[in-house]
């Protein structure tokens, strides 16, 4: 019996699935230590602020426990950061895989994005279960809407990641700059403190940061008593996602793909 020819879609699906398993295996490792290492970063980012500001309890955000406030702000930020930087770094990491005729660089990007969606989902499920055991109310009151916001966060990170990957490929000196950007972004995205505590003039400028909108929307969907900033918009990150994705795909097709795979 002659072999059944596979369509291009099935080939790409199988390639992405294989790359996804490869990425998850490399992240978690073959021992329990690999999983514990994956948990280390988010837990470290949560424990330190809680230790420093936990004594304020609900004075930072009236009616809301600070650890819960922190988790639902840090969740979209870490998801955004992980996907965006993994796509940027995926250019070099995927060079060896491109020797296989079926593997495209975009397949590597998609697999890395999906892998980190899975990883962050596992990590924050563990964190939320831990907080629930400690007695905190962590269940989101609008879970479906929260999932939509996290999906939007992943999409924006993917689009910007492809743009940054193209930029760092064409101008390698910009790679460290992309990594450094996330340090100030952490502080201007309202992770540690509610932005409503700043003056209206400051908040208006901070609202140009799309991650801040995603953080505010995430908290609004998760915590019933939370009041987001007045400039919070769903349209802004959606529009930026569409624009960045289109630009990223254009760069990938017009110059980036030829440059990387030559």
Measured CA distances, 42 to 21, 49, 127, 256 (Å): 22, 12, 8, 33
Q: Which long-range contacts (CB under 8 A, 24 or more apart) does 34-39 make?
A: 38/119, 38/122, 38/123, 39/123, 39/126
55-59, 95-99, 116-120: least confidently modelled range: 55-59
pLDDT of residue 4: 59
115-169 pLDDT tens trace: 889 888 888 888 888 888 988 888 888 999 999 999 999 999 999 999 998 888 8
Segment 18-31 shows an average pLDDT of 75
222-235 pLDDT tens trace: 988 888 888 889 99
Neighbouring CB atoms inside 10 A of 47's CB total 13
Domain locations in the chain as residue ranges: 8-261
Q: What are 179's two structure tokens?
A: 């990594």
Nearest-angstrom CA–CA distance, 111 and 23: 7
Please return the burial class of 98, using the count of CB atoms within 10 Å of its CB with bins 0-12, 13-18 and 19+.
middle
């Amino acid at each position: 019996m002659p072999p059944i020819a596979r369509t291009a879609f099935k080939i790409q699906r199988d390639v992405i699935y294989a790359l996804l398993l490869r990425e998850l295996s490399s992240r978690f490792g073959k021992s329990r230590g690999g999983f514990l290492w994956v948990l280390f970063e988010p837990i470290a980012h949560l424990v330190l602020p809680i230790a420093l500001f936990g004594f304020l309890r609900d004075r930072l955000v009236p009616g809301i426990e600070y650890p819960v406030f922190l988790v639902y702000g840090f969740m979209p930020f870490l998801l955004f950061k992980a996907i965006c930087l993994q796509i940027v770094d995926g250019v070099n990491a995927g060079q060896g895989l491109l020797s296989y005729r079926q593997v495209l660089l975009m397949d590597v990007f998609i697999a890395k994005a999906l892998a980190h969606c899975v990883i962050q989902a596992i990590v924050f499920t563990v964190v939320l279960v831990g907080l629930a055991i400690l007695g905190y109310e962590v269940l989101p009151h609008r879970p479906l809407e929260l999932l939509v916001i996290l999906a939007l966060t992943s999409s924006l990170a993917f689009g910007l990641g492809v743009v940054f990957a193209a930029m760092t490929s064409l101008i390698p000196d910009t790679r460290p700059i992309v990594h450094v950007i996330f340090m100030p972004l952490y502080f201007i995205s309202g992770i540690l403190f509610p932005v409503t505590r700043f003056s209206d003039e400051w908040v208006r400028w901070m609202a140009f940061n799309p991650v801040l909108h995603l953080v505010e929307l995430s908290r609004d969907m998760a915590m019933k008593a939370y009041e987001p900033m007045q400039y919070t918009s769903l349209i802004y990150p959606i529009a930026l996602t569409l624009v960045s994705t289109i630009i990223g795909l254009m760069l990938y097709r017009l110059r980036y793909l030829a440059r990387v795979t030559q």
